[in-house]
Amino acid sequence: MNSLLNKLARGLAAPVLILALWQGICALGWVTPQALPSPIAVGLKWLEYVLPSQPYDGNQSWLMWALSGELLHDAGGSLWRVIMGFGVGFVLALPLGLVMGANARLREFANPLIQVLRPIPPIAYIPLAILWFGLGNPPAIFLIALGAFFPILMNTMAGVSQVDSIYLRAARNLGASPGRIFLKVMLPGAMPFILSGVRIGIGTAFLVVIVAEMIAVNNGLGYRILEAREYFWTDKIIAGMLSIGLIGLGIDLAMERLNRHLLRWHRGMQ
């Protein structure tokens, strides 16, 4: 229990120090509230952003009323786009990465094209996404899928291609078929790389959704930050940014726990 408290204290030390410095700078008047509102002002705006805008009238369930806050609505829209776009990117990238990692000739054939397309940021596709899909969720999902596709593809290829040849030869000597070798040797051996790619891909997807929402849709965290910028609501901009950071932290912690759960066998071999 003491070790957990110590770890929590160490983790909170830096944020608390930054908040204290931030509040001190604002209290001394070194910056204007329009340029940098105080943490207290941002916290109050964040609570306003979270809480329902309408009083409870009894016509709907209490839970639905409690979840009707603007922040929860925007966060739900952003998460839905992330899940859909990441799902599309994952479904396309995983089998392609497995096949290319297992087949050296196919990898050499397709690698030049991949290396040309991979450095292009998904944001650069925004004009094409709008031209091809119009406005709304489809272009946003397309951009998110692009953001998730290449990290998963590259890590999957690297993982499959770097499986130790000793394991492959041992499986062949034991009479395993190529399909069984792929499923029982190559795929488990590549799993640490695949999960690393998934973790990076979902993080990239969450970054892309914010930019996509500033352009193509009319709700979500990115859209709300852009709206606040138009009206010079700096406190709401920072509240939205902090919300993005907290959600991103939650997603990363969930992925870390999933990795630990799925790779228990791998840690035992180290």
Question: Is 125 in the same domain as 166?
Answer: yes
Question: Is 214 in the same domain as 176?
Answer: yes
Question: Is 41 in the same domain as 163?
Answer: yes
Decide if 61 is inside a domain: no
Question: Is 16 in the same domain as 83?
Answer: no
Question: Is 112 in the same domain as 97?
Answer: yes
Decide if 60 is inside a domain: no
> If DSSP states are collapsed to H, E and C, what string results for the chain?
CHHHHHHHHHHHHHHHHHHHHHHHHHHCCCCCCCCCCCHHHHHHHHHHHHCCCCCCCCCCCHHHHHCCCHHHHHHHHHHHHHHHHHHHHHHHHHHHHHHHHHCHHHHHHHHHHHHHHCCCCHHHHHHHHHHHHCCCHHHHHHHHHHHHHHHHHHHHHHHHHCCCHHHHHHHHHCCCCHHHHHHHHHHHHHHHHHHHHHHHHHHHHHHHHHHHHCCCCCCCHHHHHHHHHHCCCHHHHHHHHHHHHHHHHHHHHHHHHHHHHHCHHHHHHC
Give pLDDT tens digits along the chain (270 positions).
666 677 777 777 888 888 889 888 888 888 888 888 888 888 888 887 877 666 666 666 655 655 556 788 888 888 899 899 999 999 999 888 888 887 788 888 888 888 888 888 888 888 898 889 888 888 889 999 999 999 999 998 888 877 777 777 777 777 777 777 777 777 777 788 888 888 888 888 888 888 888 877 778 888 888 888 888 888 888 888 888 888 888 888 888 888 787 777 665 444
Question: Is 13 in the same domain as 85?
Answer: no
Q: Residue 18 sits in which domain range?
A: 1-31
Decide if 152 is inside a domain: yes
**What is the domain count for the chain?**
2
- CATH number at 130 reads 1.10.3720.10
